Amino acid sequence: MTDATVNTGNNLNLIQRIRRDYSPLVIGMVGLFLVVFVAGAVFTDDFLTWFNVKTIIRDAALVGIMAIGLTFVTLSGNFFLLSMKEIAALSIICFATLMSADWNQWGTVGADPTTWSLTMTFLVAFVATMIIATIAGALQGALIGLGGNPIVVTLGAAGLFFGIGSWWSDNLVVSYRRPHGAEWLGTGSFIGDIPNITVAFIIIAVVAELTLRYTTFGRQVYLVGANRAAGRATGHENFGMAIKCCIIASVCAAFVAVAFSGQVSSAHVNYFSSEFGSSGDMTIMVIAIVMVGGNSIMGGYGSTLRTSLGAIFISSIDNMMVLNGFNSGARVLAVGLMIVFSIIVFALVRRGSRAVE
Amino acid sequence: MADQPLLRLTDISRHYGAIQALKGAAFEIGRGEVMGLVGENGAGKSTMVKIIGGFDTGFTGEYFYDGEVRHFPSPTAAEQVGIAIAQQELSLIPTMSVAENIFLAGDGVPQIASRKTLAKMAKPFLEEVGLGHVDPLRSTTRLSVGEQHLVEVARLIAHNPQVLILDEPTAALGETDSIRILDMVNRLKEAGKSVIYVSHRMDEIFKICDRITVLRDGESQAPRAAADMDVNSLVEMMLGFELGDMYPARKPFSRTEPVLKVRDLWPDGIIEPISFDVYPGEILGLAGQLGSGTSEILGAMAGSTKTRGGKLHYKGEEFLPTRPKDTIRRGIAYCSEDRKHDGLFLGRPIMENLSAPSLETISSKGFLNGTKELSTTTENAVKFTVDPKRLPQEAGVLSGGNQQKVALGKWLSISPDVILVNEPTRGVDVGARAEIYQILRDLADQGAAIVVASTDIQEITNLPDRIVSFYRGVQIGELQLDDMTSANILEQITDPFHEAGIAVSEKAS
C-alpha cells in the first residue's frame, strides 16, 4: 500500500465519503438505530414539544455536567473515577451543612433574611464545597499519577469520601429553610423559562470543548491519553495531568451536588445512589454517558461535545420510554444496550479508519 | 529444485478500501528453496505473507499448493497442510517455560505429560534451531529476544511444516542472534524445507537466499537467482530507480569544544560508569549489540531511563536528567528505538505528533496558536519529505518509514543542539532509510551534535564520524574515522576480549 495511492477524496460527495470511511455494518447499525429513534420520536405523543425538549435537556444537565468533568479523566488515559457519586455525596453534605448552620441567620432573629445574607451564606458554602472537592480530586489524581491503578484508588477513595459524609451528617437528611441562596441555581431561571441549570450545562459544555480544542492543556490531555510513554518522552508527564483532570472531575461533581441540593433544599449521602437516571446510581450513569458518547476508554480520542450529546441522547431515550409507559427495569436495560451498541459501533469505526495501515 | 513449484500464486490482487495493496502479483517457491521476499514498506510484502498463510482470505487470484488449487479459509487450515508463519511480533507466553511454549498447540503430546517428558520432546526441536544449550524448562522471559524468536520458530517446526515464512526475523536482533537465525535457515534448507524470508537487511538476503522476489507498489517482478544480483541492482528493482550511495558523504570538520560531556554516567544495566564527549557538527556512533547497554546510555542521557549517577556537562551547566522534560527544555532531543512505544501518538494527527515537544513555543498564555502550529509543522514535514497534505491524518496510518520520519521530525520543532537517536532506521524501508541518513547528516552539518546508537553493522560503519563501542555493558574503545571498518567494529562489539578463540570477521562472513 504505497502512501501515494491513498485517495485524498476531496472530490467525493457526502454519501460517497460515508461509504468510503465506514463499513456497511456500521452504516447499517447506525441507520437502523436512527430509523427506530426517529420513528419513536414521531409516534410518541408529546415527545416533540418545546416543553418536553426542555425537560430532556434539564434532565441531562446534572448527569451531563458530571460526565463532562469525568471525560477529562477518561481522555487523559486515566480511565474513570469510580468515586464520582461519593465525591458528590461528600460535597452535598458539606454544602447543606454550611447552608443550614446557625451563623447564617444574619440579621434579626425571626425576621426574613436579607438578600445579602442569603448570598453570603451561599458563597461561603459554595467556596468551601469547591475547596473540599478540589482536595478530593487532587488526592486521587496524585495517587493515580504516581502509578496507582485508577480503579483501586478511586474505589478506595469512594469509601473514604462516603464514610466522611455519612459520619459528618450522622447519616441523616440535612435540610435548610427556603428562601435560601442556592434556589437560583436549583430551580431558578433568568432567561425566559429556560432553567439556569440548563444554561450552566450549555456553558460548561462549550467551555470544556473549547478548552480541549484550543488550549495547551487540552492538547496535553489528548497527547498523554493517546500514549502516556510518548507523552512523557515529549515532556508531558501524567502526574500533573492526572491531578488536573481529577480536580476538574471532582469540581464538576461538587457543582452538580450544589445544584441538586439547591433544588431540594436538603442533602443526604444517598442522594446520588438512588435519585439519578433510571438505575439511580450516579457513577454508573455518568460512565454510561461517557461511553455512549463514543469516547475511547483507553484515552486520547473523544471530546466533551460527544459526552454532552451522549447525555442528551440517553436522556431523550429515557424520556421517550417514560412517555410510553415503560417501567424502570426496561429503561435500565435500554441504557445498558445503548452502551454495548455504541461501544461496538465506535470500535468498528475506529478499526475501519486504521485499515489503511 | 523440483520442476513444479511447491507453492505458486498467480495474478493475486487485494485491495483495502481505496488502497490497492497487491495488483496482479505472483509468487512461487520450490521445495528446499530459500526465497527472499523484499520490497519497500508498503510494497505489499505483509499482504502477500498474510495471503500465503491464510490470514487474509479476501484476495482474488490463483493459489496452488502442491499442484492443487487451494483457498485456505483460516490460518489453521494453512498450517494443517504445512504452511507456518513466524510473525514479526512474538507470540510466546512469557510466563510459561520454553518446552510448554513449543507444545502450546498440544498436538503430538500425550494427554498427561510431565514437565520432564515435555522437556525431552522439546529438545530435538530446540537443537534444530540452534538452541541446544537452552534448558527447555527455563522460563521464556529469561531468554534474549533473539532466543525467543528461535523458540517461536522451534514451535512452528514442531508441526513439521513444509513452508516456513519468516517475517523480518532479525529486525529486532543483534548480530549474534541474527547469525543464529541465518544458521537455522540453512539447516532447514538442508532438511528439504522451503523458507520464505522477508527482510529489509540486504546482507542477509544475499547470504541465505537462493532466489529473490521483489515487490514494488503491489506488483511483483519475476524471481531472480540471488547469485545474478548485487545490492545495487536489488535496491534499484525495489525502488524503481537508482539509489546512488545510501550513506551521505562526510564533510571534513574540526572538533574544538565539546557541546556535551558525559561524565561517569551510570545507567541501570551498565557494569561501570561511562564517559565520553560529543562535539557539534559530528555524528557519534554508539556501537554495540543488543544488550550491550547503548540503549540504556542514550535513555539515561535523555532522562528517560533510570540512572544511578553521573553528570552531563552542557552549555556551562552540570546536571543529571531525571525525566525527559529536563533535557527537552535544554535542547536535547531523544528518539527511542521503539517508536510505537514512546515515539508516536498513533491515534492522533501527524500535525499534533510533530508539535508535541514544542507546545510552549506554539502557544501563548495557554492557548494554542493554530496558524503558528500549522506553519512550523508544515516546515518540518517538508524537511522530512512527509506530504504536508497528510498532516491531519492519524500517525497510525503511515508506513513504517514515514512513522519513523515523524518520530524523528517532531524534534526539529525544539531546534535541538544535541539529538540522540536509538536505531534510526529500525523497520524502515531502503528509500526512507537513505532520507533519514541524509537528514541526520544535514543536521550535523548545520552544527547539531548527533549521537546514534545502532546494532546494524552497516549503518554503524557508514553513518557516524566517530564510534564509541560497547560490549555487555562495558565501554570498549573509541574508533576514529580511519579505523572504522566493519571488521574492527565487529571485533569490538562481539568479542573484544577474544573469548571465542576465532576471528569474528570470519564468523560473520
CB contact under 8 A, A5 and B18: yes
Q: Which of residues 203-232 of A touch B (CB under 8 A)?
A: 214-220, 222-223, 226-227, 229-232
* Integer Cα distance of A292 and A343 in angstroms: 7
**A119 in contact with chain B, both atoms CB, cutoff 8 A:** no
Query: What number is the average pLDDT over the span A178-191?
Result: 88
Kindly indicate the confidence band of residue A201, based on its pLDDT and cuts at 50, 70 and 90.
very high
Report, as an integer, the average pLDDT of A231-241. Answer: 95
Taking only residues 274 to 303 of chain A, the set having a beta carbon closer than 8 angstroms to any beta carbon of chain B reads 296, 300-301
**pLDDT value of position B446:** 92
Say whether residue A45 is in contact with chain B using an 8 A CB cutoff.
no
Average pLDDT over residues B402-407: 92
What pLDDT shows up at residue A19?
75
Contact B18 A7 (CB under 8 A): yes
With bands split at pLDDT 50, 70 and 90, how would you rate the model's confidence at B1?
very low
pLDDT at A345 over 90: no
What amino acid occupies position B303?
A: G
User: Residues of B with CB below 8 A from A229's CB?
Assistant: 341-342
Burial class (CB in 10 A: 0-12, 13-18, 19+), B286: buried
Can you tell me the distance from the alpha carbon of B36 to that of B213, in angstroms, rounded to the nearest whole number? 6
Q: Is the pLDDT of residue B264 over 90?
A: yes
Say if residue B113 is exposed, middle or buried (CB neighbours under 10 Å; 0-12, 13-18, 19+): middle
Pick from A3, A27, A207, A237 the residue to mutate for testing the B interface (most B CBs within 10 Å).
A3
Predicted local confidence at residue A146, as pLDDT: 95
Residue A25: what pLDDT?
Answer: 77
In Å, how far is A300's CA from the nearest CA of chain B? Answer: 7
CA B457 → CA A320, B235, B470, B473, B492, distances in Å?
68, 18, 13, 18, 12
Do the beta carbons of residue A186 and residue A259 sit within 8 Å?
yes
Q: Which residues pair with B36 in a beta bridge?
A: B197, B212
Which percentage of chain B shows pLDDT scores above 90?
35
Q: Is the Cβ of A80 closer than 8 Å to some Cβ of chain B?
A: no
Higher pLDDT, A84 or B246: A84
The rounded mean pLDDT for chain A is 87
Q: Look at A214 and B368 and tell me if their CB atoms are within 8 Å.
A: yes
Gap between the Cα atoms of B401 and B27, Å rounded: 25
What integer is the mean pLDDT of B403-432?
A: 90
Name chain B contacts of A3, Cβ cutoff 8 Å. 42, 387, 390, 398-399, 402
Hey, which residues 33-52 in chain B have their CB within 8 Å of chain A? 42-44, 47
| Count of helix runs (H) and strand runs (E) in chain B | 18, 23
Task: Tell me the pLDDT band of B241, cut-offs 50, 70 and 90.
Answer: low
Is residue A353's pLDDT more than 60? no
Exposure on the CB side of residue B10, measured as CA atoms within 13 A: 7
Say if residue A355's pLDDT is above 60. no
Of residues A326 and A91, which shows the higher confidence score? A91
With bands split at pLDDT 50, 70 and 90, how would you rate the model's confidence at B501?
very low
**B1 contacts B56 by C-beta, under 8 angstroms:** no
B402 vs A: CB within 8 A: yes
Does A165 have pLDDT greater than 80? yes
CA distance B25 to B35: 16
Predicted confidence (pLDDT) at residue B299 exceeds the cutoff of 90: yes
C-alpha–C-alpha distance, residues B260 and B280, integer Å: 9
Give the one of A218, A227, A237 whose C-beta lies nearest to B325's C-beta.
Answer: A237
pLDDT digits (tens, 9 = 90+) for B32-66: 899 999 887 668 888 898 899 888 888 888 899 88
Question: Which residues in chain A (230-259) have CB-CB distances under 8 A to chain B?
Answer: 230-237
Cβ B345–A226 below 8 Å, yes or no?
A: yes
A3, B360: Cβ pair inside 8 Å?
Answer: no
Question: Minimal Cα distance from A235: which residue of B?
Answer: B325
Kindly report the length of chain A: 357
Identify the pLDDT of residue B453: 94
- Give the minimum alpha-carbon distance from B362 to chain A in angstroms, rounded to a whole number: 9
The answer to whether B398 faces chain A, any CB pair under 8 Å, is: yes
Share of residues in chain B with pLDDT > 70 (%): 95
First to last CA, chain B: 26
A106-150 pLDDT, tens digit per residue, is 555 566 677 888 888 899 999 999 999 999 999 999 999 999 999
Give residue A258's pLDDT band: very low, low, confident or very high (50, 70, 90).
very high
pLDDT of residue B242: 64
Given a cut of 80, whether residue B245 has pLDDT beyond it is: no
Question: Closest Cα of chain B to A351: distance in Å?
Answer: 11
Least confident window among A157-161, A255-259, B423-427:
B423-427
Q: Would you call A227 and B363 a contact, using CB atoms and an 8 Å cutoff?
A: no
Q: Across A3-12, B402-411, B428-437, which has the greatest mean pLDDT?
A: B402-411
Q: Which B-chain residues 403-422 have CB contacts (< 8 A) with chain A?
A: 410
Contacts of A233 in chain B (CB under 8 A): 302, 304, 324, 334, 336, 342-343
Is pLDDT larger for residue B100 or for residue B314? B314
Least confident of A43-47, A175-179, A353-357, B204-208: A353-357
Average pLDDT over residues B452-459: 87
CB contact under 8 A, A233 and B363: no
Q: Is B323 helix (H, G, I), strand (E, B) or coil?
A: coil
Asked, as a colleague might, if the bond just before A179 is cis with ω within 30 of 0, I would say yes
Mean pLDDT of chain B: 86
More confident of the two residues B128 and A63: A63
pLDDT band per the 50, 70, 90 thresholds, residue A102:
low
- Burial class from Cβ neighbours inside 10 Å (0-12, 13-18, 19+) for residue B96 reads middle
Q: Are A224 and A240 in contact (CB under 8 A)?
A: no
Residue A4 has pLDDT above 60, yes or no: no
Please give the pLDDT value at position A10: 57
pLDDT at A308: 94
Nearest to A354 among B21, B218, B397 (CB): B397
List the one residue out of B31, B34, B29, B12 whose CA is nearest residue B21.
Answer: B12
B329 inside 8 A of chain A by CB: yes
Residue B117 region by backbone torsions, left for phi larger than 0, else alpha for psi between -120 and 50, else beta: alpha
For the cut 80, the answer to whether the pLDDT of residue B89 exceeds it is no
pLDDT at B102: 85
> Is the pLDDT at B283 greater than 70, yes or no?
yes
Cβ-based contacts of A348 with chain B (< 8 Å): none
Lowest mean pLDDT among A24-33, A81-90, A174-183, A302-311: A24-33
User: Are A233 and B304 inside 8 Å of each other by CB?
Assistant: yes
pLDDT of amino acid B311: 94
B17/A3 Cβ within 8 A: no
B490 has pLDDT over 90? no
Q: Tell me the per-residue pLDDT of A293-304, one tens digit each, with 9 for 90 and over.
A: 889 888 998 999
* Amino acid A357: pLDDT: 32
Which B-chain residues 432-491 have CB contacts (< 8 A) with chain A?
A: none
Q: Which residues of B touch A223 (CB under 8 A)?
A: 345, 348, 352, 356
Share of chain A above pLDDT 70, in %: 89
Binary contact (B356, A354; C-beta < 8 A): no
Q: What is the pLDDT of residue A8?
A: 46
- pLDDT for the residue numbered A24: 77
Q: What is the reported pLDDT for A6?
A: 43
